[in-house]
Amino acid sequence: MSQTLNQDKGRSLEKVIARRIRTKRLEHNWTLDQLAKTTGLSKGYLSQIENDDKTPTLGTLTKIAFGLGLDAVSLITGEEPKPKQKKFCLVRARDRQPITHTGAAPDSVYESFSFNKSNRVMDSYIVTVSKEFSPKPLMHEGQEMAFVLEGTSEFYYDGKTYIVTAGDAMYFDSDRPHMTRSVGPKQAKVLVIFCNPLQ
């Protein structure tokens, strides 16, 4: 039952994000061709995202947001970013911003703590890892570093699986299929730092 509710919530959010992308593009008076040129994504793929026929990964949303002059958190939540600090950003533990990752497994929680930094070249999250794999592996441009803070998880990367525990770290090209799930008695927590080459 809860999985169905999470899936319904995810589908609803995907539709909202699709509308938000189109709205922001039209606010720029851009065609899909112009957004494609800015993001490096194809016009056809962007059209499928706007029509809610394709679910973008977090990496793709970051690219689209960057192309539109936004950050991924603002695009996902619809909240206007707070005034940005140019050189230094401090986010207290209580102020981390939870976001819903449209391609993630049910009950995964992504907490952003880089959302207030302007001109950033990476996005960082504390991820509470679901006990289930995502519906399909994630693939997007860029690189990721993942450091297991607590718990145990099974990490799938490009056809191989690895069991990782607190203190283990992984660094990888994120254009290969990857996903993770918690396998211990409680959900694992992982620090994930994502770098998009277009940022």
Each residue's pLDDT tens digit, 162-195: 999 999 999 999 889 999 999 989 999 999 998 8
Pick 2-77's CATH classification: 2.60.40.2890, 1.10.260.40, 1.10.10.10, 1.10.167.10.
1.10.260.40
What tens digit of pLDDT does each residue of 68-113 get?
Answer: 888 777 788 777 665 555 678 888 888 888 877 767 777 888 898 8
Q: How far apart are CA 180 and CA 59, in angstroms?
A: 16
Q: What angle do CA 153, 157, 161 make, to 5 degrees?
A: 50
**Is pTM, for the whole model, over 0.75?**
no
| Alpha-carbon 150 to chain mean position | 21
Q: Where are the domains of the chain?
A: 2-77, 93-195
Q: How many of the other CB atoms lie within 10 Å of CB of 197? A: 10
Hey, what CATH class is 93-195 in? mainly beta
Closest among 173, 169, 110 to 139, alpha carbons compared: 173
